[in-house]
Structure 1
Amino acid sequence: MKFVTFQTRPGPGGPRPTRFGILDGDTVREVPGSLLGRLREDDGLAQLRALGPSGFSGEHRLGDVALRAPLPRPNSMRDFMLVEEHVKGSLGEVPAEWYRIPVYWKGNCDTVIGPEATVPWPYYTDKLDFELELGAVIGRRAFRVDVGEAAECIAGFTVFNDWSARDIQMREMSVGLGVGLSKDFATSLGPCLVTPDEFDVTTARMRARVNGEVWSEGTLGGMRFSFPEVISHLSQEQPLQPGDVLGSGTVARGCGLELDRWIRPGDTVELEVDGIGVLRNVVGPKNPPPGPGAGIPSILRPAAPANGA
C-alpha cells in the first residue's frame, strides 16, 4: 500500500485542508484522519488494510491534488550514516567506532517540507547540498525488541532528503558537537509512504537529478546496519513511537559534497527511488541576512578583513 498526505488544489477560498489517503495507481482514496493518527491507533495499519469502500470518504484523481510530506510533522527524526562509501567520501576515512555502533543526529520536526516545496537557502551558507536517502517510519511502539520483532515495527518507507549547509556543518563538527544549524532548516519527505511488503530496501534503485541531469545513482545494498538492527539497538533503552522517522544516511556519492558539485538557487532537485516515486524540490534564493542590530552570532558573521578595511 501507498499512503499519501495531500491537499486539493487551491480554489477561490485559498489553500485547502490537509487530508490523508491511499494511493492506488492514479487514484487517491481519501481516508478520515491523518497518517500519524492512524499509526498511533492500536492495529492502525491492519485497519487500513481491511478498509472496504465504505471506509473511504472520497476519491480524487492524482493529478487533481497536491502531495505533501506523508508525515507533515513526524513524531521524531533520527538520521544515520549507514553506507561506508559515503562515510569515506565525506570524512576521508572511516572512524573505527562507525563499524561498532549506528550513530545519528536528530532532525527538526518543525521544518519538514514535501514534494514541490521550495527549499529555503539560509543566509549563513554558501554551500547548500542535498542528500539521497531513504526514510523508515515506525508504525508501532518498540521497546527492547529483537531484530525480528523490529522488522514488524516498520510501517513503511519514503524518500528522505536532509538538506545540508556544508560549510557550517564542517565548522560545527570541528567542535565535536552538532550538527545543528547546518541541518535543522529543512528536511524533505515524500512523495508517499510505501509499506514493507511492496518495497525492498536493499535492491531499490535510487537516483538524484539536478535540472534533469543524473548526478547520483545507487542502492542501499551495502548498509552497515539494517533498519531492523538499528531499531533493535535504539529500543534497548529508549522506546520508539509510531511516527518516528529513521534516515538511512546517504547512498555512495549521493550528495554534492562527495561529487564536488554544488547546487544553485533556482535548481530543481529530484530524488527518485524505484517503488516509491520522485521527491522534487526547487531551491529557493539565498535568504537575506537579518538587519542591523539583530545580534547575529559571531560564528555566522563574515570574517573581518585582515587589514581592517
Structure 2
Amino acid sequence: MRLATYLDPAGTRRAGVVVEDRVFALPGDTTVEQLVERGLSAALEMGARAVTGEGTALAGVRLQVPLRPASIRDFVTFEEHVEGVRRSIDRSSGVPDAWYDAPTFYFTNPHALVAADEEVAFPARSVARDLELEVAVVVQGEGRSLDEAAARDHVFGYTLMNDWSARDLQAREMQVGLGPAKGKDFATSLGPWLVTADELEDRRDPGGFLDLACRVLVNGDVIGEDRLAHMGWTFEAMIAHASRDSRVVAGDVMGSGTTGHGGCLAELWGRHGRQDPPPLRDGDVVTLEVEGLGRLSNRVTSAPASPAAPAVSRRTPAERDAARTASVPS
C-alpha cells in the first residue's frame, strides 16, 4: 500500500492511499503519523476501507512529505560510496576499518524536509552542491537494544530520501572531527509516498536485503545506477544498531546511506579526480527512481544569502591560563 500526505484541490491537508493515478482519502483527520503509531496491520486495514468510490486524481493534488519523522538517522551502508567520497572530501583512500564494525549513522534535521516536486534551496555560498540517492525505512513501535530478528517487527515501510549535501561546507566543518552539520541540515527530501513493508517482502534476496534497482538522473540524464541489495547491512540491522543501549520509536526514519555507482556526485568526483559531472546549479532537476518505491524529483535553487558565521573568541594560551587562575578562589 502507498500512503501519501497531500493537499487536496481545496487546499486541505489530507492523508490517503495511492492506487495507480488516484488517491483515496483516509477518514476524518487521520494522518500517516497516526497510522504508523497504530502499526502496519491496523494501517492496512484502515487503508483498504478507504479505497472506495472514484477517489481524486493524483495529478490534481499536491504531495507533501509523507510523514513528519520523530527523528532522522542517516546511515552509511554502501562501501563504494564511502571509498569514493573520502577521496573527494578529504583526499583519503580506501575505507576506514571502523566502518566495518557497525552501521554508522548521524542525526540530521527533521525540520528541513522537502516534498516531491518542491524546490531545494542550497546555501547561497555553497558551490559544490550534491545529491544523494537513498532509501529510508520508517519504524513502527518502540524498542530498546533489539536484535535483528526483533527489529524485523519494527519495519513499517519505506520511502525515497535525498540527503542533499553542500560538499564545500561539509569538507571544512568535518575537519573539527564531528559529523556533518551545516553542509547537510538545510534540506532532506522524502517521498513521494510511504510504501508499506508488505509490498516489498517478495523482493528480499537470500541474505534478507531488498533487491531493488536504483538510479538517479540530473536533467533527465542518468548519472548513477545501483541495486539496494549492495548495502553492507539490512534495514533490520540498522534499526537494531540504532536501538543498542538506546531507544527507537514509531515514526523514526533511517536512511540507507547513499548508493554506490554514482549515487552522488562526490563519489564520481573522487574517482575521476575532478568535478565531473559538475556540481548542481540553479535550475537543475534531480530525480531519484527506485523500483517499487516510485520517483522523487526536486529542482535546485539558492536560498537568500545568510548572515556570516559568528566570530570566535580567540585567546592566547597565556590569556587562558590567566583567566583560569583568576577564577580559582584564593
The question of a shared fold, defined as TM-score above 0.5 by the shorter chain, is answered with: yes
Paired position in structure 2 for 1:235:
243
Change (3 A) 1:113 1:288: closer
User: How far does the alpha carbon of each residue in 1:92-122 deviate from its partner, in whole angstroms, 9 at most, with x for none?
Assistant: 3211010012111111010011100000021
CA distance, structure 2, for counterparts of residue 178 and residue 280 of structure 1 = 27
Q: Are 1:67 and 2:83 counterparts?
A: no
CA distance, structure 2, for counterparts of residue 45 and residue 84 of structure 1 = 31
CA displacement at 1:169 relative to structure 2:
0.6
CA displacement at 1:56 relative to structure 2:
6.3
User: How far does the alpha carbon of each residue in 1:108-139 deviate from its partner, in whole angstroms, 9 at most, with x for none?
Assistant: 01001110000002123111110011000002
Q: Are 1:254 and 2:270 counterparts?
A: no
AA aligned to 1:63 is A
Q: Are 1:282 and 2:329 counterparts?
A: no
CA displacement at 1:24 relative to structure 2:
1.5
CA distance, structure 2, for counterparts of residue 48 and residue 143 of structure 1 = 23
CA distance, structure 1, for counterparts of residue 240 and residue 84 of structure 2 = 28
Does structure 2 conserve the Cα–Cα contact (< 8 Å) formed by 1:157 and 1:195?
Answer: yes
CA distance, structure 1, for counterparts of residue 264 and residue 50 of structure 2 = 42
User: How far does the alpha carbon of each residue in 1:14-66 deviate from its partner, in whole angstroms, 9 at most, with x for none?
Assistant: xx13211111122211113111122123xx32122223776569821212211
Match runs of 1:129-148 below 5 Å:
129-148=130-149
CA distance, structure 1, for counterparts of residue 291 and residue 311 of structure 2 = 44
Q: Are 1:296 and 2:309 counterparts?
A: yes
Match runs of 1:155-304 below 5 Å:
155-199=156-200, 200=203, 202-252=210-260, 253-260=262-269, 261=277, 262-284=279-301, 286-290=302-306, 294=307, 296-297=309-310
AA aligned to 1:233 is H
More helix by share: 2
Change (3 A) 1:19 1:90: same
CA displacement at 1:287 relative to structure 2:
2.9
Deviant stretches of 4+, over 4 Å: 52-58
Does structure 2 conserve the Cα–Cα contact (< 8 Å) formed by 1:30 and 1:57?
Answer: no
CA distance, structure 1, for counterparts of residue 103 and residue 211 of structure 2 = 21
CA distance, structure 2, for counterparts of residue 239 and residue 63 of structure 1 = 39
Does structure 2 conserve the Cα–Cα contact (< 8 Å) formed by 1:83 and 1:220?
Answer: no
CA distance, structure 2, for counterparts of residue 54 and residue 165 of structure 1 = 44
Does structure 1 conserve the Cα–Cα contact (< 8 Å) formed by 2:17 and 2:51?
Answer: no
User: How far does the alpha carbon of each residue in 1:184-242 deviate from its partner, in whole angstroms, 9 at most, with x for none?
Assistant: 00000011111222123531111100100001111122212111112112213111111
Which segment drifts farther, 207-216 or 251-260?
Answer: 251-260
Q: Which runs of 5+ in 2 are unaligned?
A: 87-92, 204-208, 270-276, 313-330
Change (3 A) 1:118 1:148: same
Which segment drifts farther, 208-217 or 25-34?
Answer: 25-34
Give the aligned length.
Answer: 287
RMSD of aligned Cα (Å)? 1.9
Paired position in structure 2 for 1:304:
none
DSSP-derived class of the 2:230 partner? coil
Kindly, what percent of the aligned residue pairs are identical?
A: 38
Q: Indicate which of 70, 78, 82 corresponds to 2:77.
A: 82
Which segment drifts farther, 102-111 or 143-152?
Answer: 143-152
Does structure 2 conserve the Cα–Cα contact (< 8 Å) formed by 1:4 and 1:191?
Answer: yes
CA distance, structure 1, for counterparts of residue 199 and residue 153 of structure 2 = 14
Does structure 1 conserve the Cα–Cα contact (< 8 Å) formed by 2:112 and 2:185?
Answer: yes
Does structure 1 conserve the Cα–Cα contact (< 8 Å) formed by 2:288 and 2:295?
Answer: yes
Change (3 A) 1:221 1:56: closer
AA aligned to 2:60 is D
